[in-house]
Homo-oligomer: A and B are copies of this chain.
Amino acid sequence: MHSSELNARIVERGRDFFTSIAGEKPSLFDKGSWVGKMVDWSIGNEQFKVQMFRFVDVFPSLTTGKLLTGHIREYFGDEREMPPFMATGARVAGMLGSLGGAVLGKVLTSNIQEMARQFIVGETTAEAVKNLRKLRSGGFAAVVDVLGEATLSEEEAESYTNTYLELLDALHGEQGQWQGLPEAGGDPALDWGHAPIVNIAVKPTALFCLANPQDFEGSVAAILNRMRRIFRKVMAVNGFLCIDMKSYRFKDITLEVFRRLRLEHPGYPHLGIALQAYLKDTDRDLDNLLAWAKEHGVAVSIRLVKGAYWDYETVRAGQNGWEVPVWTVKAESDAAFERQARTILENHRICHFACASHNIRTIAAVMEMARELNVPDDRYEFQVLYGMAEPVRKGILKVAGRVRLYAPYGHMVPGMGYLVRRLLENTANESFLRRSFAEEARIEQLLEDPAVTAERKLEASSEPPEMARKGLGGFPPFRNEPMADFTRADHRAAFPKALAQVRGQLGKTYPLFINGRDIMTGNLLPTVNPNRLSEVLGQICQAGTKEVDDAITAAVAAFPAWRDTDTRKRAGYLLKAAEAARGRIFELSAWQILEIGKQWDQAYADVTEAIDFLEYYAREMVRLGEPRRLGHAPGELNHYLYEPKGVAAVIAPWNFPLAISTGMAAAAIVTGNCVVYKPSGLTPLMGRCLAELFREAGLPPGVFNYTPGPSATMGDYLVDHPAVSLIAFTGSMETGLRIIERAATVHPGQQNVKKVICEMGGKNAIIIDDDADLDEAVPQVLLSAFGFQGQKCSACSRVIVLDAIHDRFAERLVAMARATTAGPPEDPAHFMGAVADEKAAARIRGYIELGKTEGQLLYEGPVPEGEGYYVPMAIIDGILPEHRIAREEIFGPVLAVMRARDFDEAIRWANAPRFALTGGVFSRSPAHLEQARREFRVGNLYLNRGITGALVERQPFGGSRMSGVGTKAGGADYLLHFMDPRVVTENTMRRGFAPRGHEDAGVE
């Protein structure tokens, strides 16, 4: 908090500022204009705002009249449902028929284009330069930014880089004709006597399509390669380069790029970086940066902004279970800005400051702090976004003289993201501009010290709402275990460390675990690293039928007591196992990376999913363990309750070696069954880890038994065993159907009809609609199809692309694919590693060859040198529903591309295979999304996102038809399949006397 003296001066200055611009309004709030009306309507109507902003987003892709009018109707309904200002045009032509629609389309198009032009300084370099010149004549300097954040390929990154180089050439050409903006003294060839006329901002992530904090070093190096080229040209034209900061995910990469570039040219002063005051990290980052600059004796320049991705950051953190990286109360960000501005100003000798804010309080505070600290004028300037807050920029110009406009230019498609962010800012409840100019809040409120405001607001909301949600059984409510957060240096460092630690333990022999004891057998089988075949991770004792019998005997013996154990207590064991897994999370990830070749994030996600299953099923069982009263008839008590079935055989796959094993076993155990667990022969060591977790949790002997062994002999033996009442299986369709068939035969001595919980394969499609956002669709398809080498039952193996967008999609997809590299996943630079084993590799290679005959190979990736089971990434176009690679599960990195005439055909094709597991749609057509909800009949359908990575509770996982029997792992119905329901009815009336309960229906 400022001294009260300083604060008083700030408020005074702010008041003067308001007075100086009295009566003026930013054009966005001018209700005389279409955009002003639109903003006004959006502020008042959340539903309309969502539709309008989404429409603005999709607008550039509506390239035909039909698409345009169709979407208008889908987003806004017919004329009668639209706000009056929108329908004006259409009303002339009556209802939204073909004619009215066309008129409305034209009106909307011209208005949206006009709105875009307001924020974007030009669509071409020439246009931009022309407009910049005009701005200079009004006294404003500029920092020029090329629109676009995401590049999906090397080609796109290169093209983006080249645009900058071209821009710099053009600006350099102009520069000769431009005079420096006036200021007393200094170099007349510079603005205000000290600032380069050429000033650009570059988003580093646009320079490398695979930027990813998981591969921190690789990302920094790749970005730096192109940034260096831009910076060289900037230096050549004596310009200023600011490295922009966008999403939090890339913050540390961006800082590192800045630092390295800075050190490469320590003598050239005009290099800056943007920091975001809304990040909780920024105080520390700023201190570190200044300390670093001092240590290296270099000058830095910082553009401080509030930050424009608040929604995105909170959503992303919320979805991944991470701490929200931004301040959640707006005034906290404002206060942070003032605090950090002061730090920068205090260090003005080594740090040039660009204050980028439209907030008059903020601006006033910076001015007063600069005065108090005697900061020379050439050490700080003010920046305002082009097209926004016109009264503010005018006011600053009047007082400070030094205003630079942040001026983006470029094509409209990437520009729409920028446009939506601006609209969001201006319509947000807490927006300073909205409050100042659209709502006319009291000036005292607007100018209050934000530190004071923040404190008040935080106090008022001191009870977080979710604390009110009470958990069942005394457990806190279920939350998904957070994903690995590679923005954290400790998470990044933990993987190599864990890998090294695990490597120190290679070659051990792993016993069975039966009836609470380790059992060695003579029959050993090695488990190896598929990316490094000579690396034997361990020797696994193999169970024979004798050991399986022993395990079943132990399970049968343990069953009665386990069944009768209180459900809360049973749940407690799961929570203990979860705690154990949490404590070993990096180690368990490392084993998976080595045993089955998962990428870091994928391996970690497998462990978090295992933890989720434990935590979720524990709570589910507490919920289901409470007998439910049925009916309200007096004189009777009906209780509905569930009982376990007996001995469960859990037969697990290798692709989610911990998660799926844990899920099936935990469900069986917590419901009161006893488990004989057969891990996959490819991941017995992960299976052994599960046994250790349950042992650590203290499960009674016999409740969980670990018996790895050959599927060929052991699978049938387990399934046929008369003492097995329950089989939980995840794996291929062939094996699944075999289990279902065998389990249906009742053997002598068998007490129960066997229940089979069976998740099988998929042949999953993603549909790319003609209005899809390819910036999202292309990387998501790539990840869904090739993540973990496509070895997920949920993986995308078909992409069905609407004709109109097919070529553009295919081109960008292949280009992005080409950017990826393959190799052992322990190196995070590798997008793809080896597949599971030689058999799989051969099968996949066969399908690739088949694909080449059925369709046309679009892309076949390189296969790394080395001893792993490598297969190429393959994308095959021209596939039709009748082709085998459109029907059969490949379980590898092979993607079939299918060109569909229209959305109906796409849905039909998507549903065509016998499988019905996952599916996806990228579309911005509300009608098509609705149609997909109804008609795209798969177990897990994803709209506008990738189709892998289902989370426990939020996306219960599993399919129907030949993909499974309609159980849904991680969902509220799942545990029911492991139990039989019972009803106990008590007649409570004796001698005509029945106690009455509150729930009884009836009289009095």
Contact = CB atoms under 8 A, between A and B. Distances in A.
Interface string A551-584: 0000000000000100000000000000000000
Given A634-B318, A992-B309, A941 B971 contact: no
A120 interface: no
A744 interface: yes
A228 interface: no
A162 interface: no
A556 to B, nearest CB: 15
Given A636-B954, A1003-B328, A753 B315 contact: no
Interface stretch (A218-226, A345-353, A929-937): A929-937
Interface stretch (A296-304, A599-607, A700-708, A979-987): A979-987
A973 B940 CA distance: 21
A1001 B318 contact: yes
Contacts of A971: 630, 640, 981, 983
A966 B986 contact: no
Contacts of A773: 990
Contact of A319 (B328, B466, B633, B929): B633
Contact of A980 (B631, B966, B972): B966
A527 interface: no
Interface string A409-452: 00000001100110010000000000000000000000000000
Nearest to A942: B985
B985 A940 contact: yes
Interface stretch (A69-77, A237-245, A957-965): A957-965
A645 interface: yes
Interface in A686-724: none
B746 A744 contact: no
A284 to B, nearest CB: 21
Interface stretch (A2-10, A46-54, A380-388, A590-598): A46-54
A960 B973 contact: no
B319 A992 contact: no
A50 B981 CA distance: 29
Contacts of A956: 630, 640, 981, 983
A1002 interface: yes
Contacts of A27: none
A991 interface: yes
A334 interface: no
Contacts of A314: 634, 1002-1003
A743 interface: yes
B420 A982 contact: no
Contacts of A955: 630, 638, 983, 985
A992 B630 contact: no
A945 interface: yes
A470 to B, nearest CB: 14
A570 to B, nearest CB: 15
Contacts of A976: 973, 976
Contacts of A57: 990-991
Given A417-B991, A981-B956, A993-B424, A319 B1001 contact: no
Interface of A: 46, 50, 53-54, 57, 309, 311-312, 314-316, 318-319, 324, 328-329, 416-417, 420-421, 424, 461, 466, 564, 630-636, 638-640, 643, 645, 737, 740-741, 743-746, 751-753, 755, 758, 773, 914, 924, 929, 933-934, 937-945, 950-951, 953-962, 964-966, 968, 971-973, 976, 979-987, 989-995, 1000-1004
Given A630-B953, A753-B758, A966-B981, 13 more contacts: A316-B635, A318-B633, A319-B633, A466-B632, A466-B1002, A631-B954, A640-B956, A737-B753, A753-B964, A939-B980, A941-B982, A945-B985, A957-B983
